[in-house]
Amino acid sequence: MNLDRKHIKKKEVIGKLRQQPVYLVETKGGLHLVFANSSRGYEPIGTGPHKAVALWMAEKREPDVQWLSLRKSEETFSAEEVACILTLTLARLAERHAKA
């Protein structure tokens, strides 16, 4: 597959594999490709019609890949953050109940 700059919508570094950057390339046609550096240049390690599919394929092929940012479903909060979120949520619920 030959990709020219005119085919690429977006390119970003999304992780690391063996201390080398891992790139996500999105084409204008909607194909998502995950590339890793290898001895032969850049090698595709995941592809798909959606970013999540391409990342999943990359993880299946290269389990040691490390992503630089968390996806929505993997976000974590500290105990203090959870306590703050719960306190604010309960305060808002109490306000709504008092108005009703």
The secondary structure of residue 47, as a DSSP letter, is E
Blockwise average pLDDT, block size 10, the chain, 100 residues: 85 92 93 89 91 91 86 64 80 82
Look at residue 28 in the predicted model and tell me its pLDDT: 93
Coil, strand or helix at 15: strand
For residue 43, count CB atoms less than 10 angstroms from its CB and return exposed for 0-12, middle for 13-18, buried for 19 or more: middle
Global confidence as pTM = 0.67
Query: In the chain, where are the structural domains located?
Result: 5-72
Q: How many CA atoms lie within 13 A of 11 on its CB side?
A: 11
Give the Cα-Cα-Cα angle 7, 28, 45 (nearest 5 degrees): 80
